[in-house]
Structures are given as C-alpha cells and as structure tokens.
Structure 1
Amino acid sequence: MIPQKDRPFRGIYAATLTPFHPDGGIDEETLAEHFRTVTAVAGIVGVLCNGHAGENFLLTRDERRRVTDIARQTIGSSHIIVSGVVAEASAEAALHAADAVAAGADAVLVFPPFSWALSQDPDMAVTHHRIIAEKARCPLMLYQAGVGSAMAYPPDVLAQLVQLPDIVGIKEGSWESAAYDRNRRLVAELAPHVEMMASGDQHLLSCFVQGSAGSLVSLAVLMPEEIVALDRAVLNNERDRALALHARIQPLADVIYGMAPTGHATARLKAAMVLLGRWKNGMTRAPITGISSEETDALRRALATAGLLEACA
C-alpha cells in the first residue's frame, strides 16, 4: 500500500529472504511470518522482496510472482511492497515486472542483468528500463551496484536513468561513502523527486550522515529496530546514540557482507535466523552452499555484540 502523503516512498525497508523447505520448495508459511515480523517494527515502511537477498536469480518466474503475492496477502494493506526484477533479456524482465504488479507490488526495483558485469554501454541501461516501464506501468526503483563493478551506472548513465518517467527511488549500493555522496548530489540536482536511499549495509552510518531518504537493506531482517533507530538518531542529530547503535550494527554487517567469500551473505543471513531461533533451517538454493564452522562462529560472536543472542536467550 502506497501511503497518501508527500514523498510516500521514503523510509526504511527490509530486503527480505526466501525460506525453503528441505526439499527445496518455498516455505510459504515461514515466508508469510517473515513478512509480518519485519514489518511489525515501527518505522519499517515496507519490504523489498525478490531482491538479491531473496535469491531472486534462483527463483522461477512463478515463484517470484508467488513471493510477491504472499507479501500482498500478509502486509499489503499496511506496508509498501517493492518487488525486485532481474533478467538478462529486457522483454523477459518486463514480463516479470508486470507479474509483480499483477501480484500486488506497489513498485518494482530493476536490478541490472548479471551479464552487464562483463560490459554495458550507455544505451543498454536506458533501453532496458524503458522497456520495463512501458510494460509494467508502475513506480520503478533503480539499483546502483558497487564501486568497481561494471554493473554500476556511471554518472552520465545514472543522470539519464533518473530522468525517465516513473522512477521514484534508488537502492544505492555503491558500497563506498564517497561514491554514494557523488551520486546523491547528482540526483538531487537532476531529479530531486527521486528518493536516494543509502543501501550499503556496511556503510549505513556514514551515508545516513551525508543524507538519505531511507534504505532498502537485508540487514534489517535481523536488526530492524536498530536500523530504524540509527536513521532517526542521525536525523535528530543525536550523535552519541548514533555511534552507540553503529557499534552494535557494524560488526554484524562486517561479518555478513565483508567476509570472504562475499557471495555467502544470504547464506549467513539465513544462518543467523537459525542461530536466533527464528527459523528452523537456513536452506539456500543451489548452487549457493551453506557456510563454514568458522563463519558460523564469527556470526555468533557478532550477534552477541549486537545484543541479539542475549535477547533471545
């Protein structure tokens, strides 16, 4: 549900996970409870389902649509549902975007195709988003990938994208504070109506301080209260409170997203859900594998530092 107010897409979103049964199918009951739990926290305005953390690239078209449908059924009357779309062909991505809208998404977040990690030219990104917009006919969000990745949009391409019709926000995941600030200032100048949302889980404090309209982060499935509180502390100029929250959030972010291999982030998030007693299993979908005992130990220590394990003891 898009609230009837100015700048309705601002705020903190939890980028949700997709739980699986041991046989590999989606655990719909756990998924519905997952949506309800993360949005029960005051200050969480919605969810990003079918994002990278939700293993969107490993789900079938029908499964992605079903995930969005479950979100609509459980939280659609009270929270914003953003559904992620990733596909190599623009026509296929447009179909998935239309599916998401039909299933109840309020907005679609377009992820760059993974093949763009090899190369892209300025026209590819604009063409891809235009085709999706024409088919979906809904609010769209962009994804700005990490610095050093060929999937990241250079300033000239980002400048074109934010001026396309229907663009309402950016999940800014440059993963570098300087790049985030550069992109933030560019968007503020060319498209001030587009919400710039600092979404690098390891850089929340610095980016919030520079200025952000919200965030779409998977760390919020573990620490929704703390991330909302960090955002509010920065907005209220409560420096000591912000630093105290950062001291709890950052070690966990570093373990989940900063340890090698970084591709284990989703598996670590799921393992944390198990360690906290929230989920029965941390199943991922092949070829993503489980995490090592060393990673599990590091997670357990970081969860303790965050104060989460004590709360569940």
Structure 2
Amino acid sequence: MDLKGIGGIWPASLTPFDRAGTIDDAALHAHVAELAGTNGVRAVVVNGHAGETASLTRAERAHVIGAAKTATGGKAGVVAGIVADDTRGAVALARDAAQAGADALLLFPPALFAQGANARPEMASRFVAEVAQAAGLPIVLFQLSLTSGLGFSHEVLLRLCRENESIIAIKEGSDTPQAYEDNLAALRALDRQVTVLTTNNSWLMASLAYGGDGILSGIGSVASPILAEIFEAMARGDLDAARRANARLRPLCRAFYRAPHLDAHNRMKTALHLLGKLPNPDPRTPLLPIEAEERTAIAQALAGAGLMPGRAAAA
C-alpha cells in the first residue's frame, strides 16, 4: 500500500503475549484487525515502543509484521518500527521488514544520538540513507521529544528531509508547541509533500490546531475512534465537536501518560484486557503487571471515555 501523502489515524499497536510470554498470534490478529477496520485508520504501526519491541527478537519482529499484514487484509498499511542502536542492526531489521511485507518503516534514532548527534548531523544523514537504501521502503522519521535528547534539531530535521526523498512522513513528537509549529511550517515549505503526524500525546488536539495531517500514537491502540473524531472535527473546523471528543480522550491520557512512564503501554494492555479485547494483559519482563489499584483507575478512565460497556462518557 502506498502511504505517501496519507494522513489520518495511525495507531501504534500492542504486542499481546500469553501467560508463558510467547506472542499470542490469535490476540495479535484480533487486535490489529480491529484497528485496521476502524473508520479513519489509514495505517497500523507495529514494533514500536507500544509493541514492546525491545523485548522482541529479530525473528519475532519479522513475525509480527507478517501477522499484521495478514490481519489488516489490505484495509490499512503496515508500518514497521526499526529500533536499533547501530546502523548494521537497523539495516538488518529494515530488510526483514521489507521481506515480511511492510509498507513503510518508522525509523527511530539510535539511543546514542542523545549524546549529541545534532552536533554531528552527518551521523544522522548516513544512518537514514543507509537504512533507506537497504530496504527500499518509504520512511516515517520519528522526531522524539527535545527533552529526551533524541529529538533532531530543526536544522537537522529539515536536512534529513531534503537529502532523503524516501522520507514520506514525520512522527512529530517534539513535545513543545514552538518546536512543533516551527517544524510544521518548515516542512510545509519543502518542495515536496512530507506528511506530519502529531504524537504529542498531552496536547494532541492543540497540536492539530496548528495544523497536521494526522495522529500516530500508542493511545490509538485503545482509542482510535476517539482520535478519528478529534482529527475529523478539526479538519472540518468543528471546534465544539473536537472539544467534546477531546474531553473523552483526556481521562485516558491522564491514566496512561504519567509516571512511571515506562508503564504507559503496559497500562494500555490492561485497558484492552478490561474491555475484554486482550486475554492476557501482562508485558514481558522486566516490565511488571499493573497492580489492582491502578487497574481500578484505568477502568474509571475507560468509563470516563465512554468505552466501558454500559457506561456513559463523562460530560
């Protein structure tokens, strides 16, 4: 599927495991199929942070891509996360993704980039170019938060887009309004289209007010219909409808995105379990299952979002 110029909702999927810690293929198929069949969803992202990719072997990552390709049934694209700390590892994963049928790659910067890669922009240039050449697939470049140290500077981000026509989209998570707005304006001024997908999870609606082509976020694993409501309402200029949908999203954001942040996607698994959509909510170690008190808080957030059966959304 050609994802160039495609916006809308791109949920980052979870990776279900059984009680033994093995990938649960039936649960994975059901999860991805539901996401792909949701109105407004244009692509499903696998093997990202939401999918606990750091806990997956190389073979398991390829397996997840192939399983997702089958589960989408052509209704949505499949985007494979590429998370590696060295270029050779990223190249190998990118080739695996192409062979498994991925439509595009979500390219994460190596962790060592946090130590000052913006001062050596040729590092990022070579990294992106080598991965792109190896896979021959379009790239969604992950712009992480500036506070993490992994976010590209404004200048480096634009350089990468100018140098690599394989970059078709940016997962924009700079996490500051000024940086997001500046990046958005500069990307719009390029001589070719680069899709901007916001992932600023504490202010998704606000970021869309600046502009943007869609949302790529792990919270879409639980709330893609709400994300689609917000995006579509903002696109047609219906601010009241966007606010109503955002009021439903807010309790979920507060429940998922809080300290300790390493549990964010673990909490989303618990949410799907509470909704009867995931047989086993447990992550792979060293992550630990969500405890009873927090499960109650997540259930309350689901009720506030109107997602719990028989429970109305909060006003």
Shorter-chain TM-score range: over 0.9
**Residue equivalent to 1:201:** 201
Counterpart of 2:130 in 1: which secondary structure?
A: helix
Alpha-carbon distance in 1 for matches of 2:180, 2:73 = 31
**Residue equivalent to 1:260:** 259
**Residue equivalent to 1:86:** 83
Alpha-carbon distance in 2 for matches of 1:82, 1:69 = 11
Question: Is the Cα contact below 8 Å between 1:46 and 1:79 reproduced in 2?
Answer: yes
**Cα distance change on mapping 1:127 and 1:247 into 2, 3 Å:** same
Q: Any stretches of 5+ residues in structure 1 without a counterpart?
A: none
Question: Is the Cα contact below 8 Å between 2:274 and 2:299 reproduced in 1?
Answer: yes
**Cα distance change on mapping 1:310 and 1:294 into 2, 3 Å:** same
Alpha-carbon distance in 1 for matches of 2:56, 2:254 = 27
**Cα distance change on mapping 1:174 and 1:191 into 2, 3 Å:** farther
After TM superposition, give the deviation of residue 177 of structure 1 in Å: 2.5
TM-score (norm 1): 0.94
Alpha-carbon distance in 2 for matches of 1:57, 1:115 = 15
**Residue equivalent to 1:168:** 168
4+ runs deviating over 4 angstroms: none
After TM superposition, give the deviation of residue 229 of structure 1 in Å: 0.9
**Residue equivalent to 1:127:** 126
**1:177 corresponds to 2:177:** yes
TM-score (norm 2): 0.94
**1:156 corresponds to 2:148:** no
Alpha-carbon distance in 1 for matches of 2:260, 2:52 = 16
For residues 88-125 of structure 1, the C-alpha deviation after alignment (integer angstroms, 9 at most, x for no partner) is 11011011011101101000110111232333232221
**Cα distance change on mapping 1:191 and 1:170 into 2, 3 Å:** farther
Question: Is the Cα contact below 8 Å between 1:303 and 1:309 reproduced in 2?
Answer: yes
**1:23 corresponds to 2:32:** no
Question: Is the Cα contact below 8 Å between 2:87 and 2:131 reproduced in 1?
Answer: yes
Alpha-carbon distance in 2 for matches of 1:26, 1:113 = 25
For residues 209-230 of structure 1, the C-alpha deviation after alignment (integer angstroms, 9 at most, x for no partner) is 1111112111112111111011
**Cα distance change on mapping 1:119 and 1:285 into 2, 3 Å:** farther
**Residue equivalent to 1:137:** 136
**Residue equivalent to 2:58:** 61
TM-align CA RMSD: 1.6
**Cα distance change on mapping 1:311 and 1:15 into 2, 3 Å:** farther
**1:2 corresponds to 2:12:** no
Alpha-carbon distance in 1 for matches of 2:224, 2:310 = 14
**Residue equivalent to 2:145:** 146
Alpha-carbon distance in 2 for matches of 1:272, 1:140 = 30
Alpha-carbon distance in 1 for matches of 2:67, 2:84 = 22
Question: Is the Cα contact below 8 Å between 2:9 and 2:41 reproduced in 1?
Answer: yes
**Cα distance change on mapping 1:300 and 1:87 into 2, 3 Å:** same
Question: Is the Cα contact below 8 Å between 1:2 and 1:79 reproduced in 2?
Answer: no
**1:52 corresponds to 2:49:** yes
**1:298 corresponds to 2:282:** no
Residue of 104, 108, 111 corresponding to 1:107 = 104
Question: Is the Cα contact below 8 Å between 2:37 and 2:72 reproduced in 1?
Answer: no
For residues 30-64 of structure 1, the C-alpha deviation after alignment (integer angstroms, 9 at most, x for no partner) is 10111111111111111011111001121111000
After TM superposition, give the deviation of residue 191 of structure 1 in Å: 5.1
Q: Identify the range of structure 1 (231-240 vs 281-290) with the bigger mean alpha-carbon deviation.
A: 281-290
Question: Is the Cα contact below 8 Å between 2:109 and 2:142 reproduced in 1?
Answer: yes
Alpha-carbon distance in 2 for matches of 1:233, 1:17 = 27
Alpha-carbon distance in 2 for matches of 1:180, 1:131 = 27
Residue of 2, 5, 13 corresponding to 2:10 = 13
Q: Any stretches of 5+ residues in structure 2 without a counterpart?
A: none
